[in-house]
Amino acid sequence: MKALTTFGLALLMLVWTGADAAVISSNAITDMNPGQYNPFTTGLVNNPYITASGIGRGSGIAANTGLNRYNAKGWTETPALDTNDYFTFTLDAQDGYELNFSSFQYTSQRSDTGPAVFVFRSSIDSFASQIDITSSTGATIDLSAVAYQHLTNPVEFRLYGFLATGTSGTYSVNDYAFHGSVVNAVPEPQTWALVGTGSLLIFMNLRRKRKKIKKAG
């Protein structure tokens, strides 16, 4: 009888957790001068049920030449971020689907006079707080918090850089990938069938247990 309950619960877990975390949007950024584009989308690979902007930049920084990297100059020299100095990424699930993030992974590099401090924020709280403080060479940023699950509206992420030691200092993102899953916001009929089967197995097991208790009494 315990096997029935275990199998039923397994079916329900399969339905509601969705697919395992996978790459949902990425770009290896291979081009002679990617920074000349805003945004840069060549080589962008997406899950078929989302749209993504690629990588772009804020109005406070300018394009800078760089082979196989999205490079920019003009980063603020102040010890606090300038709200216009950032790289940006926007993702949106298609109608009927929802986004569940798990992480953002990227590699990057700076020049000797480029920004020294980097923070990652999102439009979920209007860029008010940092998700993470990262390094000049890149990071894997955890996006498994509840705020980044079951998203049906566009979400923008920004990677800010500041505390440069010269306006000619540069900073670039060399490649990136968002990990997570894209699932149906409204389960399809076959999904409901799995829910029903799992629930029925659990109910049958509970009913048998109750009968045993009555007989024993």
The domains of the chain, with CATH numbers, are 19-188 (2.60.120)
Query: Where does residue 32 fall: left (phi above 0), alpha (psi -120 to 50 degrees), or beta otherwise?
Result: alpha
Binned at pLDDT 50, 70 and 90, residue 6 comes out as very low
Averaged pLDDT, 132-149? 97
- 159-208: pLDDT as tens digits: 999 999 988 999 999 999 999 999 998 765 555 455 456 555 555 666 66
- Contact between residue 30 and residue 178 where contact means Cβ atoms under 8 Å apart: no
| pLDDT value of position 187 | 63
Distance CA 16, CA 166 (A): 51
